[in-house]
Amino acid sequence: MQTSVTKSKTAPIVINVFFTLLSIAIIIPLLLVVSISLTKESALLESGYHLIPKQLSLTAYELILQSPKQLLTAYGVTVLVTVIGTIVSVLLTSMLAYTISRKDYRYRRVTTLFVFFTMLFNGGLVPFYILVTQYLHLKDSIWALIIPYLLNPFYVLIMKGFLDKLPPEIFESAKMDGASELRIFATIVLPLSLPALATVGLFISFIYWNDWWLGLLFINEPKLVPLQLLLYRIMNTIEFLTNNISLVNVQIDLTTFPSLSARMAMAVLAAGPMMFIFPFFQRYFVAGLTVGSVKS
């Protein structure tokens, strides 16, 4: 009896210690990134990386923010793409998931198989590029950054797993009261699926926010360049100047040129807004961690 009581007291302590250490292991790299971005380049070359900057310097941020208009424009494009893309994507994902989760839908299995099949095979990069540019005519358009990510089969199946748990009696009683399918979806399914919607929506917003690949493929207009692509180009420019300083007719002292700290400064600028947004979704995210899990 005493042994079981001791185990019941020890288990929470072990779990708390484990997650405390895990949290520290996650936080320390983030603090290190911020510290490097605020450290003078010469101090990084001499002493390496430290959690507390040995010599504070804002040179990296000054370099990146030399043209604030372009940076603010890129932020605006990324925010617009993330907001519109996330809202439309969550709506389409939930609608498709709701359809294939209904047991009275005749082609439920066929449609589910079709969705799952697209996770295994795709048309390839060249057909995708031709489709977007030659048939949809989306090159140098804001929609080229939104439409390709509107439906992700993985998130559709996750939402389906959550909606499968909803009792079908709710839909039957709503139909007996004269509710249409659209009204059932809007007034019953969406409110009950809020944890799943928040979790999937958070993942989708990360995809849109961190994407630079679509911009690299389809965007040439400077006013439509997203944030991640802009920072990617800045990083390539810094790397080129660092590795080919002898070939460029520019006099730069490599000990003061922030090639290392600028990379970390770009990471802070790119990831910062999403780190502030995440806490607002935390309670829904925790509730939706088991979205799509298998019932025992």
Same domain, 148 and 19: no
Structure tokens at 165: 């748990």
Which residue type is seen at 183? R
pLDDT at 182: 86
| pLDDT one-digit tens code per residue, 75-96 | 889 999 999 999 999 999 999 9
CA-based R_g, the chain, Å: 25
pLDDT at 241: 67
Is 43 within the bounds of a domain?
A: no
Report how far residue 278's alpha carbon sits from residue 56's, in angstroms, rounded to the nearest whole number. Answer: 29
Beta carbons of 178 and 193 less than 8 angstroms apart: no
Q: Tell me what the mean pLDDT of segment 164-183 comes to.
A: 83
Residue with tokens 């005519």: 137
Q: Tell me what the mean pLDDT of segment 11-39 comes to.
A: 85
Beta carbons of 245 and 259 less than 8 angstroms apart: no
Element (DSSP H or E) covering residue 244 = none
Is 137 within the bounds of a domain?
A: yes
pLDDT at 145: 93
pLDDT at 92: 93
pLDDT at 149: 92
Same domain, 237 and 183: yes
Same domain, 102 and 204: yes
User: Under 8 Å CB-to-CB from 248, ≥6 apart: which residues?
Assistant: 241
Is 53 within the bounds of a domain?
A: no
Q: What's the domain range around 271?
A: 61-287
Report how far residue 241's alpha carbon sits from residue 247's, in angstroms, rounded to the nearest whole number. Answer: 9
Q: Which of 206-210, 219-223, 279-283 has the lowest mean pLDDT?
A: 279-283
Is 45 within the bounds of a domain?
A: no
Same domain, 17 and 71: no
Beta carbons of 94 and 189 less than 8 angstroms apart: yes
Percent of the chain with pLDDT over 90: 14
Same domain, 149 and 25: no
More confident residue, 205 or 2: 205
Same domain, 211 and 158: yes
pLDDT band at 146 (very low <50, low <70, confident <90, very high): very high
Residue with tokens 């999403």: 274
pLDDT band at 142 (very low <50, low <70, confident <90, very high): very high
Residue 194 pLDDT > 80, yes or no?
yes
Q: Which of 202, 175, 165, 185 minimizes the C-alpha distance to 283?
A: 202
Same domain, 107 and 177: yes
Is 55 within the bounds of a domain?
A: no
Beta carbons of 259 and 242 less than 8 angstroms apart: yes
Q: Tell me what the mean pLDDT of segment 141-145 comes to.
A: 92
Same domain, 158 and 31: no
Q: What CATH number does the domain containing 276 carry?
A: 1.10.3720.10
What b/e string do you get for 108-129 counting C-beta neighbours within 10 Å, with b at 16 or more? eeeebeebeeeeeeeeeeeeee
Same domain, 27 and 97: no
Beta carbons of 136 and 147 less than 8 angstroms apart: yes
Residue 144 pLDDT > 90, yes or no?
yes
Whole-number average pLDDT of the chain: 81
Q: Which of 283, 69, 90 minimizes the C-alpha distance to 203?
A: 90
What b/e string do you get for 145-170 counting C-beta neighbours within 10 Å, with b at 16 or more? bbbbbbebbebbbbbbbbbeebeeee
| pLDDT one-digit tens code per residue, 220-265 | 888 898 988 888 887 777 676 666 655 555 555 555 566 777 778 8
Q: How deeply is 134 buried, as exposed, middle or buried, from its count of CB atoms within 10 A (0-12, 13-18, 19+)?
A: exposed
Quote the number of domains for the chain: 2
Same domain, 107 and 162: yes
pLDDT at 26: 82
How far are the Cα atoms of 115, 170, 284 from residue 110, in angstroms, in the given order? 9, 25, 32
Residue 205 pLDDT > 70, yes or no?
yes
* Backbone φ/ψ region at 257: left (φ over 0), alpha (ψ -120 to 50), beta: beta
Is 283 within the bounds of a domain?
A: yes
Report how far residue 71's alpha carbon sits from residue 212's, in angstroms, rounded to the nearest whole number. Answer: 14
Same domain, 207 and 251: yes
CB atoms within 10 A of CB 45: 12
Same domain, 207 and 95: yes
Is 46 within the bounds of a domain?
A: no
Q: Tell me what the mean pLDDT of segment 171-190 comes to.
A: 84
Residue 125 pLDDT > 50, yes or no?
yes
Is 292 within the bounds of a domain?
A: no
pLDDT at 11: 76
